[in-house]
Amino acid sequence: MKYKAPRGTRDILPEDSWKWRRVETAFRETADGFGYREIRVPIFEETDLFARGIGDSTDIVRKEMYTFEDRKGRSLTLRPEGTAGVVRSFIEHSMGRGGRLTKVHYFGPMFRYERPQAGRYRQFWQWGLEAIGSTNPAVDAEIIHFSISLHDRLGLTGAEARINSAGCPTCTPAYNELLRKELAPKLDGFCSDCRVRYERNPRRMFDCKNETCLAILASAPSILSSLCEECASHFEQVKALLGGAKLKFTIDESMARGLDYYTKTIFEVHHPGLGAQSALCGGGRYDELVEELGGDATPACGVSGGVDRLIIVLEEQGLFDEEEPGPDVYVATVGDEAEALGAALVARLRGDRSVETDYRGRSLKAQMKEAGKLRARVCVIVGEDELARGVAVVRDMETRGQDDVPLDDVPAAVGRLLERAEG
């Protein structure tokens, strides 16, 4: 075959896309319940937006962005994450005017040039929430609560948060110097990437996946011991709020999110039944980002999660054991006259119901086999005999019970069967 999907991308085929729709529906319903409204931002932005927003010391900016020039020589980048674009939109459209809290959610594709592997693609899907305009620790707790609630809704009950603090510009410079001092004698034991991070932003060293580096970092000082009074107080309030809401959490002093814009609270939500790869989503507070990108000083907090990996987890946990949902109704016809009447029935039945029919002139036996294969809940059958009597056969595909129903009464009879099946 001449053309194939580019490396690191894939087609989500109809036999799997319903799973994605189920996750997206659960996400939107949960976000609506927490008072977040949808925002849709462009798939590409000016490159500098991500370089300034994410941080030029991050692996994302240094190694993973899809960057290109347009026909006028402007540098553009396919979005590698969602927050920077949302903040740009927040500033551009003055969404925070009047001092109101802006709460938005998004769901869509992101792009990073990295080595493809199970659950990790160069075009990947991500859901996210952003709350912009409040320093209140209750916002942090709400977003963590949302993250646990979403996975509960999807059947991954028992998820818990791991929390830490990233500090703020007041306390992190001293912590960075402390890290450099403590790690300098051990620097030769780190990988080349970590030695670069040591110079640019030593906290990024905690993002390393190299086991040797992580073993050395296990004895590194915790940022919690270097927090300023404001950051320490904020962290204590977040813990108290989570405890008051009876949300499970642990403190993870080694956690460092892979983006430079985080301040104060950072967190990940994990599921204890998933082994080493237990992270489901992550986020935190980014009180400096709006100002960094040209807006007024505005505090904010957010979270995002990868949909590709979530789908794999749900499959592995048996939460997609049921089959793909089929149509509500299948209309089977035999003969030209019945086919014309069947087309009219299909048009009448469609609306709130999903309806399938045959367009290939197959036998009744073949059509009934197709209705079963599609897992239709009700089958309406019209042949020459039914036409002569002015009726259609309405069959419950689960019980196999069926009745002759006057043609004008078919929609009502189908509706009653479907209501009984749903009840």
pLDDT in tens, 360-410: 999 999 999 999 999 999 999 999 999 999 999 999 998 999 999 999 999
Task: Report percent pLDDT > 90 for the chain.
Answer: 71
Does residue 221 lie within any of the structural domains?
no
The pLDDT of residue 320? 87
Nearest to 208 by CA among 51, 58, 30: 58
Nearest to 413 by CA among 388, 395, 389: 395
The pLDDT of residue 179? 87
Question: Are 165 and 250 in a shared domain?
Answer: yes
| Mean pLDDT lowest among 3-12, 23-32, 187-196 | 187-196
The pLDDT of residue 286? 94
Task: Report percent pLDDT > 70 for the chain.
Answer: 99
Structural domain for 297, as ranges: 14-171+227-316
| Element (DSSP H or E) covering residue 365 | helix 364-373
Crossing angle between the packed helical segments 47-54 and 83-92, to the nearest 10 degrees: 110
The pLDDT of residue 410? 93
Question: Are 32 and 107 in a shared domain?
Answer: yes
Tell me which of 285, 316, 347 is where a domain ends: 316
Question: Are 232 and 283 in a shared domain?
Answer: yes
Residue 136 has pLDDT above 90, yes or no: yes
Question: Are 264 and 365 in a shared domain?
Answer: no
Instruction: List the Cα angle 32/35/37 in 5-degree steps.
Output: 70
CATH of the domain at 417: 3.40.50.800
User: Is residue 132 within 8 Å of 95, Cβ to Cβ?
Assistant: yes
The pLDDT of residue 208? 83
Residue 245 has pLDDT above 80, yes or no: yes
User: Is residue 382 within 8 Å of 367, Cβ to Cβ?
Assistant: no
Q: How many CB atoms are closer than 10 A to CB 178?
A: 16
Does residue 196 lie within any of the structural domains?
no
Q: How far is Cα 6 from Cα 153, in angstroms, rounded to an integer?
A: 34
| Mean pLDDT lowest among 229-238, 293-302, 344-353 | 344-353
Residue 273 has pLDDT above 80, yes or no: no
CATH of the domain at 265: 3.30.930.10
The helix, strand and coil proportions of the chain, stated in percent and rounded to the nearest 5, come to: 45, 20, 35
Confidence band for 258, pLDDT divided at 50, 70 and 90:
low
Tell me which of 316, 344, 378 is where a domain ends: 316
Q: What is the pLDDT of residues 5-15, one digit of tens each?
A: 999 999 999 98
What average pLDDT does range 185-203 have in this prediction? 88
Does residue 203 lie within any of the structural domains?
no
The pLDDT of residue 6? 94
Question: Are 269 and 166 in a shared domain?
Answer: yes
**DSSP-derived 3-state class of residue 74:** coil
Q: What is the sign of the dihedral through the CA atoms of 414, 416, 418 and 420? A: negative
What average pLDDT does range 227-234 have in this prediction? 95
Does residue 179 lie within any of the structural domains?
no
Beta-carbon contacts of residue 265 (< 8 Å; ≥ 6 apart): 137, 140, 163, 165, 166, 234, 235, 238, 284, 285, 301
CA atoms within 13 A on the CB side of 183: 31
Question: Are 352 and 275 in a shared domain?
Answer: no
Instruction: Tell which wins on pLDDT, 236 or 100.
Output: 236
Domain total in the chain: 2
Does residue 215 lie within any of the structural domains?
no
Separation of CA 2 from chain center: 33
Crossing angle between the packed helical segments 14-33 and 307-316, to the nearest 10 degrees: 110
Question: Are 310 and 340 in a shared domain?
Answer: no
Does residue 213 lie within any of the structural domains?
no
The pLDDT of residue 423? 66
What average pLDDT does range 318-343 have in this prediction? 90
Does residue 136 lie within any of the structural domains?
yes
Q: What is the sign of the dihedral through the CA atoms of 194, 199, 200 and 205? A: positive
The pLDDT of residue 408? 92
Question: Are 234 and 273 in a shared domain?
Answer: yes
Does residue 181 lie within any of the structural domains?
no
Confidence band for 35, pLDDT divided at 50, 70 and 90:
very high
Confidence band for 414, pLDDT divided at 50, 70 and 90:
very high
Question: Are 336 and 312 in a shared domain?
Answer: no
The pLDDT of residue 210? 86
Question: Are 309 and 396 in a shared domain?
Answer: no
Tell me which of 259, 284, 316 is where a domain ends: 316
| Average pLDDT value over all residues in the chain | 92
Confidence band for 25, pLDDT divided at 50, 70 and 90:
very high
Question: Are 87 and 158 in a shared domain?
Answer: yes
Question: Are 340 and 375 in a shared domain?
Answer: yes
Residue 23 has pLDDT above 90, yes or no: yes
Residue 266 has pLDDT above 70, yes or no: yes
